[in-house]
Amino acid sequence: MAAFAVIFNTNPRFILFIHLVVNDMIQLTLSIALFLLSYTLHRINVSLCCFFILLTLFTTENTPLNLACMVAECYVAVCRPLRHAQICTVRRTYLLMGLIWATSVVSVLPDLFISLVIEPLDFFYSQVFCLRETVFRSPHLIKKRDVYYVVFLVVVWLTILYSYFRIMIATRVANTGAKNAKKAMNTVLLHGIQVLLCMSTYVAPLLKQLLGFWFPENYADSLFVCYIIIQVLPRFISPNIYGLREKTFRTYLAKDLMCKVTMATHTLTVFGNPS
C-alpha cells in the first residue's frame, strides 16, 4: 500500500487520473442530486438551483480540459521521453490542475454575476424547474456560453489531434519502444472518443430543443436520456482507460486485493468462524 500511494502521488499521469476521477465523482453526485430534486419537487428555489448548477458546470467543464492535459502528457512521454521528467513534474501538474479549475470558474461564474445585475430580486426567491437555461436565461449569457464552448472544443480537439498524429509518426519512425508508442496512441484515441462524448454537452441545448419538439409529452424522460448519454456514459470510460488497461494500476490493485483477502483468511484462521 505504501508503494501504491507513492506511485500515485509522484506520477503526473496518475495524479491527473485521480483528479479526473474525483472531479467526475463530484459531477455525478451533484447532477444526480439535482435530478432527484427536480423530479421529486419539480420546481425548486432559484438560489438553491444556482448553487447546484454552478458546481455541476465547474466539474462538467473540467473533464475535457483534464483529458486534454492527459493527452499532452502522453505526447511528452512518447515524443519527448528524455525531457519528460523535466517537463511533467509534480509541481507543474498541480499548477495545471489549478489552471483547469480557474478556466472553468472564469467561463461559468460571470453568468451568476450578470444575472444578479439584470434579474429582479424576486426572481431569486421564485421556484423553477432547475436547468441552466431557466436560471441564467439572458440571451447574452447563452451567446457567451456558445462562444466558450466553441473555444474549448477547438483547443481540446487540436490538442488531441496533434498529439495523436505525432505519436503515430513516432510509432512508425522509432526502432525501439514501438509497443509503448502504439499503446499511447490507442490511449489518445480512446481519449478522443471520451472527449467526443463529453463535447456532446455543447450540443445538449439544441438536442433538448429537438426532443421537446419531437416528444412534447415525454420531455422529462427525454432529459433523463440526455443526462445518461451526455453526462454518465463518458465518465465510465476513464476507469477502463487508466484502470483495466494500465499495467501499473492493475498490478498494484491486484496486490492490494490479494493482501486484503489474505488478511481476511488469516483472521478467520486465528479467531475461527463465529458461527
Output the CA torsion sign for 205, 209, 215, 220.
positive
Report the candidate in 225, 234, 223 with the shortest Cα–Cα distance to residue 200: 234
Output the CA torsion sign for 78, 82, 88, 90.
positive
Q: Give residue-wise pLDDT tens across range 208-258.
A: 777 777 776 766 677 777 777 777 777 776 666 666 666 666 666 666 655
pLDDT beyond 70 at 137: yes
Q: Give residue-wise pLDDT tens across range 87-114.
A: 889 999 999 999 999 999 999 999 999 9
- Band the pLDDT of 201: cuts 50, 70, 90: low
More confident residue, 225 or 136: 136
pLDDT beyond 70 at 85: yes
Classify domain 2-270 by CATH number.
1.20.1070.10
Q: What percent of the chain has pLDDT over 90?
A: 9
Output the CA torsion sign for 131, 201, 245, 154.
negative
pLDDT of residue 243: 60
How far is it, in rounded angstroms, from Cα 178 to Cα 183? 9
- Output the CA angle 204-209-211, nearest 5 degrees: 90
- Output the CA angle 232-237-243, nearest 5 degrees: 135
pLDDT of residue 183: 65
φ, ψ for residue 146, nearest 5 deg? -65, -40
Which of 45-49, 155-159, 190-194, 208-212 shows the lowest mean pLDDT across its residues?
190-194
Q: How far is CA 9 from CA 4, 25, 93, 149, 233, in A?
A: 9, 19, 11, 32, 27
pLDDT of residue 99: 94
- Average pLDDT value over all residues in the chain: 77
